[in-house]
């Protein structure tokens, strides 16, 4: 078994890069899969791109659910990893699996039985509803597999085993790209299924990833994927998980549903805006991989340091992590700027959608910095010490009181042009900066949240 990260020395940069590099590779592969989906669907047609982009909002929301539940598990597991208390980690994993499996089954049931209803929330275009419904129905299988594997991978990452997590995600991503090509274009005698082929490829790759998790678990001595952990009971750990995880889950759900409202707004402004935004999302994800990897790696490292009780060291490391995030955020903007000419050259959209695409990409050259800094602090530094309530309040106010109402008002009351609506929506990250930085400077987020009495009732 790989040992828990050595955190005794003041060697922030070697440790952060050791954790960040596998996460960067994983995130790049994830972005590559999304890029491959869009590139391949580009040859099917604009409607296929738009339909999958809208239907994928449910995957994005579910990912944020898993991320929120995984965060609750990770912030506890990383601190208990600092104490090398694996029994506590097993209990926390079981609690997270209970929530994840239940939610996955419920969403999958709706996807199997009422996919048209799910699509009508985003568009009233009959063609997009027809294409997207077949996609969502098959994705129900993906949700079930994903809900289990994502929690196990989150626990692995929380104790520093990021390379294993990266390898399993690489397996899923590479299979996804290969199977996408097979089912979209009808290779090796398979039928040409278009957007439906994307869903089949995703479902198959996630199923194989889950099998990979089971195989890895069988060789792990301390951290296994064991559904029996769902039946372990610890009142104090359950209370800690609820207290810490529910605000994180609420934060991620509130943010992701609000961000999906951006797609609702753009979806009702026409398929050209939707198609352009689907390409922009892929490019933005590529530009964001470095800064988000630093944030993820910093969360693991800070959590283990706080679990050992060295709060002053955690504050020093948080400061360095923020500086790295700013640097990588600027780098991400430059990456988007560099990719833009290639995207404009190869995109097969009509003239109006191409016009939207150009300026949406330019807006994202600076938007990445705003999201990177907020992610590093809210979802990284603050959560590492168990401070999840601040993010819930901050993001909910920012998105639901400011950004979403502003977007609807600009689009449907003022009837501003599409690009002006998009620009206003992309001010959301910068509006909350003063509040976020003030909370960071107070330093109250640095806490040791572990317990000695995890089985006391």
pLDDT of residue 40: 67
Mean pLDDT (whole number) for 46-73: 76
Q: Distance (Å, rounded) from C-alpha 231 to C-alpha 330? A: 46
Q: If you average pLDDT over every residue of the chain, what do you get?
A: 83
| pLDDT higher than 70, residue 333 | yes
| CA torsion through residues 323, 84, 69, 101, sign | positive
Residue 6's pLDDT band, with cuts at 50, 70 and 90, is: very low
Burial of 450 (0-12, 13-18, 19+ CB in 10 A): buried
Mean pLDDT (whole number) for 410-429: 92
pLDDT of residue 349: 78
Residue 420's pLDDT band, with cuts at 50, 70 and 90, is: very high
Residue 326: count of CB within 10 angstroms of its CB:
15
| pLDDT higher than 70, residue 31 | no
Mean pLDDT (whole number) for 431-448: 89
Residue 181: count of CB within 10 angstroms of its CB:
17
φ, ψ (nearest 5 deg) of residue 387: -85, 90
pLDDT of residue 397: 93
Structure tokens at 58: 């449910």
To which H or E segment does residue 315 belong?
Answer: helix 311-346
Q: State how far the alpha carbon of 33 is from the alpha carbons of 39, 142, 205, 206, 282, in Å.
A: 10, 15, 11, 13, 9
Residue 440 or 143, more confident: 440
pTM for this predicted structure? 0.72
Q: Distance (Å, rounded) from C-alpha 97 to C-alpha 194? A: 33
Residue 456's pLDDT band, with cuts at 50, 70 and 90, is: low
Q: pLDDT of 245-302, one tens digit each?
A: 888 888 878 887 888 788 888 888 888 888 888 788 878 888 888 877 888 788 888 8
């Amino acid at each position: 078994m790989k040992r828990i990260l050595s955190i005794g020395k003041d060697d922030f940069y070697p440790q952060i890069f050791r954790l960040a590099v596998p996460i960067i590779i994983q995130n790049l592969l994830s972005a590559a899969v999304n890029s491959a989906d869009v590139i391949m669907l580009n040859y099917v047609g604009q409607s296929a791109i738009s339909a999958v982009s809208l239907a994928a909002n449910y995957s994005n929301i579910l990912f944020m659910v898993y991320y929120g539940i995984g965060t609750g598990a990770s912030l506890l597991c990383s601190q208990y990893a600092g104490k090398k208390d694996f029994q506590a980690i097993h209990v926390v994993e079981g609690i997270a699996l209970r929530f994840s499996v239940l939610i996955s089954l419920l969403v999958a049931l709706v996807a199997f039985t009422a996919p048209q209803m799910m699509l009508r929330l985003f568009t009233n275009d009959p063609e997009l509803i027809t294409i997207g419904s077949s996609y969502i129905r098959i994705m129900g299988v993906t949700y079930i597999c994903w809900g289990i594997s994502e929690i196990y991978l989150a626990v692995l990452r929380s104790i520093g085993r990021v390379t294993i997590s990266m390898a399993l995600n690489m397996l899923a991503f590479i299979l996804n790209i290969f199977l996408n090509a097979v089912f979209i274009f009808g290779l090796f005698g398979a039928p040409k299924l278009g957007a439906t082929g994307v869903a089949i490829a995703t479902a198959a790759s996630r199923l194989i990833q889950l099998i990979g998790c089971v195989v890895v678990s069988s060789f792990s001595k301390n951290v296994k994927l064991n559904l029996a952990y769902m039946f372990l009971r610890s009142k104090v750990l359950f209370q800690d998980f609820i207290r810490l995880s529910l605000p994180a889950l609420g934060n991620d759900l509130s943010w992701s549903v609000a961000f999906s409202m951006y797609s609702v707004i753009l979806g009702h402004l026409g398929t050209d805006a939707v198609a352009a935004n689907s390409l922009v999302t892929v490019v933005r994800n590529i530009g964001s991989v470095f800064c988000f990897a630093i944030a993820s790696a910093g969360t693991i490292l800070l959590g283990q340091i706080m679990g050992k009780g060295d709060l002053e060291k955690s504050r020093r490391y948080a400061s360095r992590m923020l500086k790295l995030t700013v640097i990588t955020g600027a780098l991400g903007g430059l990456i988007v700027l560099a990719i833009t000419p290639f995207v404009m050259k190869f995109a097969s959209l009509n003239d109006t959608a191409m016009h939207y695409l150009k300026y949406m990409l330019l807006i994202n050259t600076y938007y990445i910095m705003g999201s990177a800094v907020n992610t590093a602090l809210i979802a990284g530094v603050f959560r590492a010490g168990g401070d999840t309530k601040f993010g819930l309040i901050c993001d909910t106010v920012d998105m639901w009181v400011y950004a979403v109402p502003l977007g609807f008002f600009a689009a449907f009351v003022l009837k501003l042009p599409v690009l002006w609506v998009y620009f206003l929506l992309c001010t959301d990250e910068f509006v909350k900066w003063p509040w976020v930085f003030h909370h960071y400077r107070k330093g109250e987020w640095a806490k040791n949240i572990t317990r000695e009495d995890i089985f006391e009732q």
